[in-house]
Amino acid sequence: MDETLMHQIPWTFAYAGTSDHRFYDRHWLACVDAEGRGAFISGIAFYKNMGVADGYFCVQQGDQQHNTRFSRPLNEDMQNLRISDFEIRIAEPFKRLEISLTGDTSPLSAELAFEANFDPYCESHYVDSRGGRIGQEITRYDQSGRWSGWIDLGSGRLDVQDWWGFRDHSWGVRPGVGGFDRSVADPRTKLSATPATPSLSMLHVMMTFELGDRFVTAMCREDAAGNPTYVDGEVITRDGRHTGVRSMEFEVEFHPGTRAHRKVSARIVADDGSEFDVEATPFLHPWAYAGTGYDGGYRDGRGLGAWRGTVVEHDVYQFVAPDGVLMDGRPTPTGHREQFAKMVVNGRSITGYCPVMTRGALPKYGLTEEG
């Protein structure tokens, strides 16, 4: 990259444009079998100001989530998305990605390839600032497509043939890096809140799906009073036309006494007047993100981007509906949740992705600060 004329700051690409320790640059990938036989999430990130690279590969099958986490010093290799025997390759930008995990360091192994179905959508630049401190400032693009290959949990291969998937690439400044604070999606962020950066209640809903020749991504965030504070999204056709999302109205039905949802209903309206009426119900279990390293998920409790040398960790979670997670038979912190969904969009049944993230008291939904 340093041979190109694409520099943005008077430094090489080895440096970030900010000294904030929370600067990150991450690929995130997800995939699900429409028949429910399995799913995976994976990712890799560089934290230039922490000198750390970390990544994960997690598989959900039945009532279990198998987690493998990786970390290494970034200066060992800044050119390749590789940690130990885990690697993500950009075979063709915005067209094809590949995942390789040999199984040399953990029970999990895989060879997988992603083929994009649509152009990526670049979300609006997002800034969250309170008390004079940047909470988040990120850029992210999203893309859907199909995955093929195989996954092995150590007990035989799971064929991945034309599974629907979704990916994003995001970078910027975000909490939950280096062990100093928590992810914005973790209800326990109040533990790291300060008078200058209070922990504010929020509900964030995102829907991503393909409907025929259209790829739809829409997201909306509400405050404690149920007022929209952020709406974004786009409808992309196979021939490359992009239309913005004008509005997204939604309702969430939670399991009583929990933050686990059992249904999301939404109406998404695009700038060209096209409408999408969506009913989404959870498909498989919500991902327990602590297994990936988010929200203190490593064994040292410091989470993503923390310096820990070269490390490979593996564990298995057991899901207990509607929102319990066990490890070795004991309850374990889950971190925030995201989830695939079975959707009915304008009367058509499809598989999509529908995260519902909450924090703090949300009286509209009967959620208290602790509940």
* Three-state secondary structure readout of 287-329: CCHHHHCHHHCCCCCCCCCCCCCCEEEEEEEEEECCCEEEECC
For residues 107-127, average pLDDT = 96
Closest to 208 (Cα-Cα) out of 236, 249, 247: 236
Give pLDDT, residue 101: 98
Nearest-angstrom CA–CA distance, 158 and 133: 46
Q: What is the pLDDT of residues 183-234, one digit of tens each?
A: 655 656 655 555 545 567 889 999 999 999 999 999 999 999 999 999 999 9
State CA 43 to chain mean position distance.
9
Nearest-angstrom CA–CA distance, 152 and 344: 32
Give pLDDT, residue 59: 98
Secondary structure letter of residue 125 according to DSSP: P
The pLDDT of residue 85 is above 90: yes
Cis peptide before 322 (omega within 30 of 0): yes
Give pLDDT, residue 289: 92
Q: Give the CA distances from residue 318 to residues 61, 187, 208, 246, 334, in Å, rounded to whole numbers and listed in that order.
A: 10, 21, 27, 40, 11
Q: Who's near 303: CB < 8 A, 6+ residues apart?
A: 176, 177, 178, 179, 182, 183, 293, 294, 295, 296, 297
Residue 359 and residue 186 in contact, taking contact as beta carbons nearer than 8 Å: yes
Give pLDDT, residue 271: 97
Give pLDDT, residue 86: 98
- DSSP codes of every residue in 46-64: EETTTTEEEEEEEEEETTE
Beta-strand pair 324-327/242-254? unpaired
Quote the radius of gyration of the chain (alpha carbons, Å): 20
Give pLDDT, residue 189: 60
Nearest-angstrom CA–CA distance, 99 and 29: 10
Nearest-angstrom CA–CA distance, 358 and 371: 11
Place of tokens 């009915």: 344
Residue 161 and residue 150 in contact, taking contact as beta carbons nearer than 8 Å: no
Nearest-angstrom CA–CA distance, 212 and 236: 11
HSE (side-chain half, CA atoms, 13 Å) at 237 = 8
Give pLDDT, residue 336: 77
Rounded percentage of the chain residues whose pLDDT exceeds 70: 94
- The lowest-confidence range among 18-27, 226-235, 306-315, 361-370 is 361-370
The pLDDT of residue 3 is above 60: yes
Q: For residue 276, what is the enclosing H or E element?
A: strand 275-283
Q: Is the dihedral of CA 80, 111, 86, 336 positive or negative?
A: positive
Give pLDDT, residue 370: 65
- More reliable by pLDDT, 128 or 35: 35
What sections of the chain are H helices per DSSP?
Answer: none
Q: Is the dihedral of CA 7, 123, 176, 64 positive or negative?
A: negative
Length of the chain: 371
Nearest-angstrom CA–CA distance, 328 and 279: 36
The pLDDT of residue 371 is above 60: no
Residue 177 and residue 21 in contact, taking contact as beta carbons nearer than 8 Å: yes
Nearest-angstrom CA–CA distance, 172 and 341: 28
Provide the pLDDT confidence category of residue 287 given band limits of 50, 70 and 90: very high
Place of tokens 């790829």: 215
